């Protein structure tokens, strides 16, 4: 598998490629399948339909990896926190007030359908196509659990991190243990590697970044690697900025996902020698296509040449991306 070769530090060329949110609303077959499921959570917890949408972009574009179709908030839902997706508004949860709300014992039974999805996808994927399991990083998931919604500011989480650090630490403790169990189950079900999405890592100042992002990620990764020798882990500390180097050095990740605003050359400078990078074409360029996308993709490929690299976006595909642009991007990568 090209993806695993890259994660092992091999400078595969052309680089393996997959795209965040590659299974999603830009595909008409996805929209049809979601309509069949009825709602987003039902789609995530229906193994037959979730496997189908995971496989759709592989059949259409031949990406080098499939990523499990699910959501980072399935885990807090499995722990007992209510979850709903408001149309056009994103996720809604009752803001967490007490750890007594959470029940780790019930979680495996709730997310059991996700493991069946993993098994089905791995059985149907081509042998050369990797399957990526994933979870949200504890700091990111805690933001949604404590604030009760997304949006990017997370004022309650940020306030609690200062005013009630013990409570926030306890939430991260529960989430870290639950994430270890969740990702371990995905590996046992057939995931070839896993990814931690710390999508809101960048909202925390340096000291809190070390405590709330790096430390839990390090614990999760060390435990997973002890349980599953040889397992590769991709970390995505979005908007980490100058903390990127510390994240790469101190978490034990095998590859670092780069967000759109991070310059690859600068990332190479601040991260340990031989760090594998994943990313980071601007998703807007995938929407625009044309000369701008072509030139940016070729520039990124030129920067990555000779290094272990996984071609991806700096964030997820948006629903308004034309399919033809995705096909064109894959053509550029494969002809590099």
pLDDT category of residue 336 using cuts at 50, 70 and 90: confident
Give the model confidence (pLDDT) of 1-32 as tens digits: 999 999 999 999 999 999 999 999 999 999 99
Residue 34 falls in the annotated catalytic set: yes
Q: Please say if the pLDDT value at position 152 is more than 90.
A: no
Mean pLDDT of 285-303: 98
Q: Please spell the DSSP secondary structure of 68-85, one letter per residue.
A: ----TTHHHHHTT---EE
Give the model confidence (pLDDT) of 45-87 as tens digits: 999 999 999 999 999 999 999 999 999 999 999 999 999 987 7
Q: Please say if the pLDDT value at position 282 is more than 80.
A: yes
Give the angle 43-29-193 at the CA atoms, nearest 5°. 60
Give the model confidence (pLDDT) of 84-137 as tens digits: 987 767 899 999 999 999 999 999 999 999 999 999 999 999 999 999 999 999
Contact 186, 131 (CB under 8 A): no
Average pLDDT, the chain: 96
Q: d(Cα 107, Cα 178) in Å, to the nearest integer?
A: 8
Specify the DSSP class assigned to residue 316: P
High-pLDDT (> 70) share of the chain, %: 100
Contact 40, 92 (CB under 8 A): no
Q: Which run of H or E residues covers position 332? A: helix 323-334
| Four-point Cα dihedral 52, 55, 57, 60, nearest 10 | -100
Catalytic residue among 31, 71, 103, 307: 71
Contact 56, 41 (CB under 8 A): no
pLDDT category of residue 161 using cuts at 50, 70 and 90: very high
pLDDT score of 200: 97
Give the model confidence (pLDDT) of 218-244 as tens digits: 999 999 999 999 999 999 999 999 999
- Three-state DSSP class for residue 143: helix
Catalytic residue among 31, 34, 210, 249: 34
48: Cβ–Cβ under 8 A, 6 or more apart, which residues? 120
pLDDT score of 155: 97
Q: Which CATH number fits domain 21-269: 3.20.20.210, 3.40.50.300, 3.40.50.2300, 3.30.365.10?
A: 3.20.20.210
Residue 119 falls in the annotated catalytic set: no
Residue 211 has phi, psi (to 5 degrees) of -80, -40
Residue 25 falls in the annotated catalytic set: yes
Mean pLDDT of 314-333: 98
Q: Which run of H or E residues covers position 161? A: helix 155-163
CA of residue 306 relative to chain centroid, distance:
25
Q: Which run of H or E residues covers position 207? A: helix 206-208
Give the model confidence (pLDDT) of 167-226 as tens digits: 999 999 999 999 999 999 999 999 999 999 999 999 999 999 999 999 999 999 999 999
Q: Which two tokens stand for residue 167?
A: 């409570």
Picking from 268, 239, 233, 238, the residue whose alpha carbon sits closest to that of residue 252 is: 233
98: exposed, middle or buried (C-beta count within 10 Å: 0-12, 13-18, 19+)? Answer: exposed
Q: What are the structural domain ranges in the chain?
A: 21-269
Residue 71 falls in the annotated catalytic set: yes
pLDDT score of 29: 97
Catalytic residue among 26, 30, 111, 144: 144
């Amino acid at each position: 598998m090209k993806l695993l070769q890259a994660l092992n530090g091999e400078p595969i060329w052309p680089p393996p490629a997959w795209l965040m949110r590659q299974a999603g609303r830009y595909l008409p077959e996805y929209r049809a399948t979601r309509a069949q499921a009825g709602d987003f959570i039902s789609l995530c917890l229906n193994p037959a339909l979730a496997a189908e949408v995971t496989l759709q972009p592989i059949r259409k574009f031949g990406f080098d990896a499939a990523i499990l179709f699910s959501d980072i908030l399935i885990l807090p839902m499995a722990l007992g926190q209510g979850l709903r997706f408001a149309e056009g508004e994103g996720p809604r949860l009752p803001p967490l007030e007490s750890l007594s709300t959470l029940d780790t014992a019930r979680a495996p039974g709730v997310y059991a359908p996700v493991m069946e999805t993993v098994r089905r996808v791995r059985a149907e994927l081509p042998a050369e196509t990797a399957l990526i399991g994933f979870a949200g990083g504890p700091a990111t998931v805690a933001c949604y659990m404590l604030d009760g919604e997304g949006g990017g500011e997370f004022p309650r989480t940020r306030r609690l991190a200062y005013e009630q650090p013990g409570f926030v630490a306890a939430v991260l403790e529960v989430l870290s243990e639950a994430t270890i169990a969740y990702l371990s189950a995905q590996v046992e079900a057939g995931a070839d590697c896993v990814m931690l999405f710390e999508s809101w890592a960048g909202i925390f100042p340096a000291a809190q970044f070390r405590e709330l992002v790096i430390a839990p990620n390090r614990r999760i990764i060390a435990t997973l690697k002890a349980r599953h020798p040889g397992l590769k882990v991709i970390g995505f500390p979005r908007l980490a900025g100058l903390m990127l180097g510390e994240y790469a050095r101190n978490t034990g990740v095998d590859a670092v996902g780069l967000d759109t605003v991070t310059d690859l050359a600068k990332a190479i400078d601040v991260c340990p020698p031989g760090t594998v990078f994943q990313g980071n074409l601007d998703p807007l360029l995938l929407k625009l296509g044309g000369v701008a996308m072509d030139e940016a993709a070729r520039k990124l490929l030129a920067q990555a040449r000779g290094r272990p690299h996984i071609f991806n976006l700096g964030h997820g595909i948006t629903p308004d991306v034309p399919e033809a642009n995705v096909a064109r991007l894959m053509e550029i990568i494969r002809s590099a």
